[in-house]
Amino acid sequence: MSTDKKKPSLYERLGGIYAIAAVVDTFLDRVMVAPELNANPLVDEAHHRVPKAGFKYLVTEMVGEATGGPQRYTGKSMAESHKHLNISPSEWVVFAGIFKAVLDEYKVPEAEQAELFAIVGTTRGDIVVENPVAAKAS
């Protein structure tokens, strides 16, 4: 008889959708008003064009699915929803710093934070424009 237990999913270890929604709520409240991010006029315009509640819903849905929950993300692809925003590598660093601060505030353990950052990292190529100056000219 095996005593091996299946490791709970990241979704379960994070506390499920209610805990994820709380983190997303706080995180997006901060992202949407971050002066370093809103200095990019395209990001600033998007932050004011998109209804906050819907944005939070879709991100919560996405995180739920990405961490092994039953949710299914129904929004646009990361490339479709971000490439036109001309997000720079330095803006990505600010975004990641805000995310880390919120995870710390909610006392998300380091192992789970590492898994979350690995998931978020897979989207970087679809979100960040490596040479924003050249992208503006095209």
The predicted structure's pLDDT at residue 137? 47
Query: In whole angstroms, what is the distance from residue 38 CA to residue 110 CA?
Result: 29
Asked whether 67 and 61 are in contact (CB, 8 A), the reply is no
Indicate the CATH number of 12-132 among 1.10.10.10, 1.10.3720.10, 1.10.490.10, 1.10.1740.10.
1.10.490.10
Each domain of the chain, given as residue ranges in start order, spans 12-132
The 10s digit of each residue's pLDDT in 6-37 is 899 999 999 999 999 999 999 999 999 999 99
The predicted structure's pLDDT at residue 113? 98
The 10s digit of each residue's pLDDT in 70-113 is 999 999 999 999 989 999 999 999 999 999 999 999 999 999 99
The amino acid sitting at 58 is L
Residue 1 pLDDT greater than 70, yes or no? no
Residue-averaged pLDDT of the chain = 93
The predicted structure's pLDDT at residue 5? 80
What is the residue-wise DSSP string for 1-66? -----PPPPHHHHHTHHHHHHHHHHHHHHHHTT-HHHHTSHHHHHHHHHS-HHHHHHHHHHHHHHH
Question: Which structure tokens are listed for 131?
Answer: 């040479």
The predicted structure's pLDDT at residue 83? 87
Q: Residue 128 pairs with which residues in a beta bridge? A: 87
SS3 at position 87: strand
| Pick from 30, 23, 37, 33: nearest CA to 94 | 37
